[in-house]
Amino acid sequence: MTTQSKVNNIFYKEGQKLLVAVDCIVFGFNRGKLKLLIMERKIEPQKGKWSLIGGFVQKDESLDQAAYRILQACTGIHDMHLDQLYAFGEVDRDTGGRVVSVAYYSLINLELFEQELLKEYNAKWINIDDIPELALDHNKMANSALEALQKQASIKPIGFELLPEKFTLPQLQLLYEAIYNRKMDKRNFQKKILKNDLLIKLDEKDKSTSKKGAYLYRFDLDKYSKIKSNEDSFYIKV
Amino acid sequence: MTTQSKVNNIFYKEGQKLLVAVDCIVFGFNRGKLKLLIMERKIEPQKGKWSLIGGFVQKDESLDQAAYRILQACTGIHDMHLDQLYAFGEVDRDTGGRVVSVAYYSLINLELFEQELLKEYNAKWINIDDIPELALDHNKMANSALEALQKQASIKPIGFELLPEKFTLPQLQLLYEAIYNRKMDKRNFQKKILKNDLLIKLDEKDKSTSKKGAYLYRFDLDKYSKIKSNEDSFYIKV
DNA sequence: AATTTTAAACGTATGCTATACACTTTTATG
DNA sequence: CATAAAAGTGTATAGCATACGTTTAAAATT
């Protein structure tokens, strides 16, 4: 046996084609609660069960494109940000056959969300600590995504993707408290957030939650895109 | 058009089967240098070019299993640790056809490495800052893996996977300096490392690199597996 | 007009951690 | 016995995380 043929025998195997899916873990934020978008599963197995938003990758589209296509069709949102989470590839993860699924997660600004799509697709937002049993390994995916979100939130200013363009510091704090599932100190939180110098204080107040009213802020996207390049210029230790 | 059929038209598409590969970014450490394992590509396209270690996922094995099989066949090592890095899924990433590749990275203790396999597979270790042009998108994969390694190294004691069982603090420092590609202060480094209280100082010295000799240490695996569960008990800010 | 109510805004003191920095110890070698 | 080469060790300083309570603004109520 030559070396070459030995190599082939031991580890070189011809490729076998598999189904490749993408599943999207979509987070939203509303009224102080972090939410997850789920919908009724449209295909067997487990048709009709609650599940993440997903679909199959086509031959002529990248993984990113597939995730984008599916998420856009289902939320109506354009230009949303998607991050790849993990490729789930257990042999028996889909009881209907071998499917490798690449999970993506996304943060959605609920203001931009087309509510009518919820009905159209039998979808709904549920509170993050109230997730039902989902199809296949989707609960595992959702949990991983929440962990990833927590990691992200400490090294990147992710708030502006989940909040409206103008938001107050108390709102932002509620978001972080929802993500990390614990109360934070108001003064320390504001110090940490403002230290990064990425928020612009506006001359407007939001009086919807208090008589005094809270100042509105917006993210300084210009400054952010400048510093994004040089690593760890943003940092929130939570 | 019913709602259901509209759904199908817009975003539900039948699955198309694709080739799924795994590629492994294998790091080693020797003589103060961080190394990457590459081999001659065995298949078209770009047959003969340097590339990462890779192969196709079979129908009856998980992604993890495929990566493990391929890496084990190529290094002879058992029980090595593999982490999934990212799924690379551009349509044209493989010029020979549509292949989605899930990249894994691994840290190898060079002492355990069967050197004869290097010749058998036309493989070699190259210094991390001396990587040639690799096949397909493998350079991109290697770069991502190095970034992931840097992140890992600051939150987990990964040293023991790249070093022999017994090692000296200067050796460990060289490893971190190689990973982060910069010099560190000896005294501060030792303080940070020892503070985690995961190293056991032995009564032996390694005199291979100095007349005085440096004390050998080993990782306290027991203690590590105990604390591993409760998050962020380990922390090296670099 | 004065009082009450509600949430927002704000500052300081303390302890911990990262960092900067230089001399002494050991022992093989000549 | 002198030299050389790397290992080992401590302190002072600045920045950051944390804990903690009072004042301010403005609407609502009397």
Q: What is the pLDDT of residues B17-55, one digit of tens each?
A: 999 999 999 999 998 999 999 999 989 899 999 999 999
Q: Is residue B125 domain-shared with residue B56, that is, in the same domain?
A: yes
B9 touches chain A (CB under 8 A): no
In a domain, residue A218? The reply is yes
In a domain, residue B73? The reply is yes
Q: Is residue B67 domain-shared with residue B181, that is, in the same domain?
A: no
Please give the protein residue whose CA is closest to the C1' of the nucleotide D9.
B187
From the list B6, B11, B69, the residue facing A11 with the nearest CB is B69
Comparison of pLDDT for B107 and B9, the residue scoring more: B107
Unique residue bearing structure tokens 């691994």: B106
In a domain, residue A1? The reply is no
In a domain, residue A233? The reply is no
Q: Please give chain A's pLDDT, 238 residues, in tens.
A: 444 434 444 567 889 999 999 999 999 999 889 999 999 998 989 999 999 999 999 999 999 999 999 999 888 888 898 999 999 999 999 999 999 999 999 999 888 787 777 878 889 999 999 999 999 999 999 999 999 999 888 888 888 899 999 999 999 999 999 999 999 999 999 999 998 889 999 999 999 999 999 999 999 988 888 776 555 556 666 5
Q: Is the CB of A32 under 7 A from strand C?
A: no
Structure letter (DSSP) for residue A40: E
For residues A103 and A54, what is the distance between their CA atoms, to the nearest angstrom? 9
Q: Is residue B131 domain-shared with residue B164, that is, in the same domain?
A: no
Task: Give the domain-ending residue among B108, B125, B152.
Answer: B152
Task: Give the domain-ending residue among A152, A175, A210.
Answer: A152
Q: Is the CB of B63 under 7 A from strand D?
A: no
B47 touches chain A (CB under 8 A): no
Query: What's the pLDDT score for residue B110?
Result: 85
Element (H, E) at B26: strand B17-30
Q: Is the CB of B62 under 7 A from strand D?
A: no
Query: What's the pLDDT score for residue B235?
Result: 63
A7 touches chain B (CB under 8 A): yes
Query: What's the pLDDT score for residue B65?
Result: 97
Query: What's the pLDDT score for residue B234?
Result: 62
Q: Is residue B189 domain-shared with residue B148, that is, in the same domain?
A: no
Q: Is residue B41 domain-shared with residue B65, that is, in the same domain?
A: yes
For residues A49 and B93, what is the distance between their CA atoms, to the nearest angstrom? 35
CB contact under 8 A, A21 and B15: yes
Q: Is residue B206 domain-shared with residue B100, that is, in the same domain?
A: no
How far, in Å, is the CA of B206 from the C1' of nucleotide D6? Answer: 12
Residue A211: domain span = 155-227
Q: Where does the pLDDT of residue B237 fall: very low under 50, low under 70, confident under 90, or very high at 90 and above?
A: low
Look at residue B217 and tell me whether its pLDDT is greater than 90: yes
Q: Is residue A164 domain-shared with residue A117, that is, in the same domain?
A: no
A90 touches chain B (CB under 8 A): yes
CB contact under 8 A, B73 and A10: yes
Q: Is the CB of A122 under 7 A from strand C?
A: no
Q: Is residue B120 domain-shared with residue B30, that is, in the same domain?
A: yes
In a domain, residue B237? The reply is no
The contacts of residue A203 (CB under 8 Å, 6+ apart) are: none
Look at residue B231 and tell me whether its pLDDT is greater than 80: no
- Beta-bridge mates of residue B40: B50
In a domain, residue A163? The reply is yes
Query: What's the pLDDT score for residue B77?
Result: 85
Residue A203: Cβ-neighbour burial (10 angstroms; 0-12, 13-18, 19+): exposed
Q: Is residue B26 domain-shared with residue B62, that is, in the same domain?
A: yes
Q: What is the CATH number of the domain that holds B177?
A: 1.10.10.10
Lookup: tokens for B100: 């989605």
In a domain, residue A173? The reply is yes
What are the pLDDT digits (tens) for B138-149? 999 999 999 999
Query: What's the pLDDT score for residue B157?
Result: 85
What are the pLDDT digits (tens) for B185-211? 999 999 999 998 899 999 999 999 999
Look at residue B225 and tell me whether its pLDDT is greater than 90: no
Q: Where are the alpha helices (DSSP H) in chain B?
A: 3-10, 63-75, 115-120, 138-155, 159-162, 169-180, 186-195, 221-228
Query: What's the pLDDT score for residue B4?
Result: 42
Q: How many domains does chain A have?
A: 2
CA of B210 vs chain A CAs: smallest distance (Å): 37
Residues in chain A: 238
Q: Which amino acid type is present at position A157?
A: P
Task: Give the domain-ending residue among A137, A152, A167.
Answer: A152
CA of A205 vs chain B CAs: smallest distance (Å): 39
Q: Is residue A72 domain-shared with residue A37, that is, in the same domain?
A: yes
Q: Is residue B57 domain-shared with residue B162, that is, in the same domain?
A: no
Helix-, strand-, coil-residue percentages of chain B, each rounded to 5: 35, 30, 35
Q: Is the CB of A186 under 7 A from strand D?
A: yes
pTM here is 0.91
Q: Is residue B216 domain-shared with residue B146, that is, in the same domain?
A: no
When the pLDDT of each residue in chain B is averaged and rounded to a whole number, the result is: 89
For residues A231 and A235, what is the distance between their CA atoms, to the nearest angstrom? 10
Mean pLDDT score, B127-140: 97
- Beta-bridge mates of residue A39: A51, A123
In a domain, residue B7? The reply is no
How far, in Å, is the CA of B230 from the C1' of nucleotide D11? Answer: 33
B126 touches chain A (CB under 8 A): no
Q: What is the CATH number of the domain that holds A114?
A: 3.90.79.10
